[in-house]
Amino acid sequence: MAGDGEKPLRRISEAFEGLAETARSKATPMEVAPLSLACSHVSVLFGCLGFAFKFAEMDYVAKVNDLLEASKSISTVQSLLDLDAQQNRVREAGSHTRNLLRVKRGLDMVKVLFEQILSTEGNSLKDPASFAYAKVFAPHHGWAVRKAVAAGMYALPTKAQLLKKLNEDEASAKSHMQKYISASAPVIVYIEELFHTRELGIDW
């Protein structure tokens, strides 16, 4: 949850605009440090979704922390994947590569969530969040997690409550959500491309 005067949405959108430039230019490889830092800003959002999503937040935060820790010894995202591939541990539980794939889904879910919020009338987040979860995470989760998330959808804050927690009004929130949608797209594609070019797959 955001403290007084903090603007987490602005911090998120600005961090991703910086990364988007790197992702689009392809001149310099993306580094793990700015990527994991940008992803850590997104944690605040998960924290605003209410008690029912506490476990989702904890899982996301743990994976982002693993990437932050990795950034101390691994400079580029490419080399992070290559190191795991060399050691045959890409799909191992807790590997940096596996955590990156999960975190990438978190970024994607927030993107879809924002798209849905911007195109849906009304004050409820239930439909936008259910749609985003169904599209991005549900295909990769077992029955128990899907049921728990579905139950959590009833305890989401309203859109107005969420904006209040984020210290935004309708207009400023809309502008930052739009910015995040545009900036996160090339970052998500960039990460997926790294998996594809190494034939690591992204559906696991």
In this complex, which beta carbon is closest to ligand 1PW, that of residue 93 or of residue 171?
A: 93
In this complex, which beta carbon is closest to ligand 1PW, that of residue 22 or of residue 96?
A: 96
In this complex, which beta carbon is closest to ligand 1PW, that of residue 59 or of residue 82?
A: 59
Residues at the interface with ligand 1PW (CB under 6 A): 49, 53, 55-56, 59, 93, 98, 102, 109, 113, 129, 132-133, 137, 140, 145, 149
In the complex, least distance from residue 86 CB atom to ligand 1PW, rounded to whole angstroms: 20
In this complex, which beta carbon is closest to ligand 1PW, that of residue 77 or of residue 113?
A: 113
DSSP per-residue letters across the chain: ---TT--HHHHHHHHHHHHHHHHHH-SSPPBHHHHHHHHHHHHHHHHTT-GGGHHHHHHHHHHHHHHHHHTTT--BHHHHHHHHHHTT-TTSTT-HHHHHHHHHHHHHHHHHHHHHHHH--SS--HHHHHHHHHHHTGGGS-HHHHHHHHHHGGGPPPHHHHHHHTT--HHHHHHHHHHHHHHHHHHHHHHHHHHHHTT--S--
In the complex, least distance from residue 59 CB atom to ligand 1PW, rounded to whole angstroms: 4
In the complex, least distance from residue 21 CB atom to ligand 1PW, rounded to whole angstroms: 26
In this complex, which beta carbon is closest to ligand 1PW, that of residue 59 or of residue 115?
A: 59
In the complex, least distance from residue 4 CB atom to ligand 1PW, rounded to whole angstroms: 24
